[in-house]
Every structure is written in C-alpha cells, then in structure tokens.
Amino acid sequence: MKILLVEDDKQTSNYIAKGLREHGHVVDQADNGRDGLYLATGEKYDVMIVDRMLPSMDGLSLVKAARTSNVRSPVLFLTTMGGIDDRVAGFDAGGDDYLVKPFAFAELLARVGALARRPPIVATTSLSVGDLEMDLLARTVTRAGKRIDLLAQEFKILEYLLRHAGEVVTRTMLLEKVWDFHFDPKTNIVETHISRLRSKIDKGFGRPLLHTVRGAGYVIRAPE
C-alpha cells in the first residue's frame, strides 16, 4: 500500500514509517499540515494517517480541504484528544477512524489494514429521491436545481439515507455506519445532525422528503 503519514513529531513519525515500511508499505511523510495537503491532493494514497495537532494547518483543516478537493483516501486520525466530542469532530471533518496516543503499533497496523480493505462506498455516480439529487463524484447536492451545501457528516448521513430510500434507518444504524460508533455515545449527535440536514434539504422546498418515524428512526422518500 501507499500511505501518507502527516505527523510533526519526528520521533513518532519515523517510528511509524519504519514499522510500515518493514511490512512492505510505501510511506510518504510530511511534518506540517500544508505539506501534507500538498501531497494528499497531488498523489493517490491507499490510506492517510494524520495527526490532529499540526503546524501551519491542523489535521482537521487538512482533511476538510482534502475532501473538498475530492480526495477519497480513507483517513486515520492520530491524537491525544480522545473525548467523544473530539472523535465526533474528526468524523465530521471527513475522517474514517480515530486512534488515541499512546498506541500500540500492532493496533495502528491493524486499523490501517482494515481501512484499506473497506470496499468502495461508491457503486454509482449519483443518488436521487424526488427532486433531490446527489452527485457522488463531485460531492454535490441539489434540490429542484438549487445547490445545497452540506458538511462532511451531513453528506454521509444523506448518502446513507438515499442508499436506503424508502426504508427506515435507525439511530443505531447511523451511529455505526456514519460515525463508526459501536456503542451509544449518550449524546444527541444523531438528532442534531438530522435536524440540520432536514433544514437544508426540506426548508423552503414545499413537501418534505426527510421524515421521522416515531420510536423507529428516519426515512427519506419522495412525496406521494
């Protein structure tokens, strides 16, 4: 695999890079956010390992900018910030996994391998319900021809709902598929994001597409 490692601590970076290379991987290293973004947008990587705290551009900003530039490489965040809110911020920025320092190299290697083995989510180039359309390649959303700007996590939620259009999607399903949480974080993260998403795709467009099914979850469907 070809891996991008963006870590400003030289000792940590060299330790990780050495271990990855010993397992046959090609590793490009950057010690600041701007150089990391330059490499991320100029090369194709199987996995990106990005530290949260970086000089010149922090890890969250790097990944957000990379996603805006249509970089689809899976991202593993490294950080000392292990709280739920910190993890949520990482996923919202477009990250795919989160590893808290200090960590065992064996775990990092396993997580990198798992990210690389994930099948591509994109099986088609577009999804739609009614007059709502999502372009998966350009990562744009429109309704009735009007562009709707979504945050990274809102885009993931809408994509999952569109892939299951007409089906009830539960809170647990969203936590697992969108945030990769296999436990209840005891927050209203799903409800908050659904509320924001609903205001963006339904407000001002007449009949709503996104519905709450009381006691069950959420469903997106075209007006009858």
Domains located in the chain, CATH noted: 2-117 (3.40.50.2300), 126-220 (1.10.10.10)
Per-residue pLDDT reduced to its tens digit, 136-193: 888 899 999 999 999 989 999 999 999 899 999 999 999 988 888 877 888 899 999 9
The arithmetic mean of pLDDT across residues 104-123, rounded, is: 82
User: What's the angle, vertex CA 170, arms to CA 169 and CA 173, rounded to 5?
Assistant: 90
Amino acid 168: pLDDT: 93
Nearest CA to 5 among 43, 56, 82, 119?
43
| Cβ contacts of 201 within 8 Å, gap of 6 or more | 132, 141, 143, 148, 158, 209, 210
Residue with tokens 């690389």, as numbered in its chain: 116
Q: How confident is the model at residue 120 (pLDDT cuts 50, 70, 90)?
A: low
Q: What is the average pLDDT across 199-206?
A: 93
Could you give the CA distance from residue 56 to residue 165 in angstroms, rounded to a whole number?
Answer: 42
Helix (H) and strand (E) counts in the chain: 8, 11
- Rounded distance between C-alpha atoms, residue 84 and residue 149, angstroms: 25
- The per-residue pLDDT for range 34-73, each reduced to its tens digit, is 999 999 999 999 999 999 999 999 999 999 999 988 888 9
Tokens 């959303």 belong to 141
CA distance 46 to 23: 15
Q: Helix 152-163 to helix 171-178 angle, to the nearest 10 degrees?
A: 120
Residue 122 scores a pLDDT above 60 = no
pLDDT for the residue numbered 112: 94
Report CA Rg, the chain.
19
Mean pLDDT computed over every residue of the chain: 91
pLDDT at 119: 66
- pLDDT value for 135: 92
Q: Which pLDDT does position 124 carry in this prediction?
A: 65
Which of 77, 82, 81, 78 lies closest to 93 in space, CA to CA? 77
State pLDDT tens for residues 69-106: 888 899 999 988 877 888 888 888 889 999 998 899 99
- How many degrees, rounded to 5, is the angle at CA 114 between CA 18 and CA 19? 10
User: What is the per-residue pLDDT across 17-40, written as a single tens digit (0 to 9) for each?
Assistant: 999 999 999 999 999 999 999 999
Report pLDDT for 121.
52
